[in-house]
Amino acid sequence: MFVRTPTGRTCAALAAALAALLLAGCGQDDDPSVATPSAAPTSTAPPSAATAPTPVVSATPSTAASTPAVDRVITVTIAKRRIDPPTGRITVDRGELVRITVTSDVSDELHVHGYDLGARLPAGTPGSVEFRADRTGLFEVETHETELVLFQLVVR
């Protein structure tokens, strides 16, 4: 005597569905006049832990997704050789992740002395450097072409 279990019925139903799909799909490829555009493969399988997440592209990069959180953001604007905020000292703690963003009305180059970091500053477009403040001391941040001292960075 043959006893059918719920698992056995499920397997039998899946086998029948697979056979029906295979038979329905046959023959269409044999006639080139019945060409259909191919679609991207789809999956009905549930997501698993091993499946990589789909990246999300946005116009504004997310700092959480790409880099660790920035501890200190310093923003400077240069217009007609005037620096805003005015030149002064900015103090950060050793080990902080620092991002300096500068927007200039003329093309120039940003330079952070002591860390030997730089960024091109196309006119009207912000340029940035990001670094870990791992050296203590006093460091000038300036522009090269116009030779403006933007501020002095103090790392303690």
Instruction: List, for residues 39-97, the tens digit of each pLDDT value.
Output: 444 444 444 444 433 333 333 343 444 556 999 999 999 999 999 999 999 999 999 99
Under 8 Å between Cβ of 118 and 112: yes
Strand-strand pairing, 149-155 and 137-143: antiparallel
Q: What is the pLDDT of residue 21?
A: 43
Query: What pLDDT score was predicted for residue 153?
Result: 98
* All residues at 6 or more sequence positions from 114 whose CB lies less than 8 Å from its CB, including other chains: 135, 137, 139
146 has pLDDT over 70: yes
Identify the helix (H) or strand (E) that includes residue 65. helix 63-66
Name the pTM for this structure. Answer: 0.57
Give domain 65-155's CATH architecture. Sandwich (2.60)
Q: What is the pLDDT of residue 67?
A: 53
Assess whether pLDDT exceeds 70 at residue 144.
yes
CA distance 100 to 70: 10
Q: What is the pLDDT of residue 51?
A: 40
Q: Give per-residue pLDDT as tens, 95-118.
A: 999 999 999 999 999 999 999 999
pLDDT of residue 6: 54
Q: In degrees rounded to 5, what are phi and psi of residue 137?
A: 140, -165
Averaged pLDDT, 145-149: 96
Domain parsing of the chain, residue ranges: 65-155
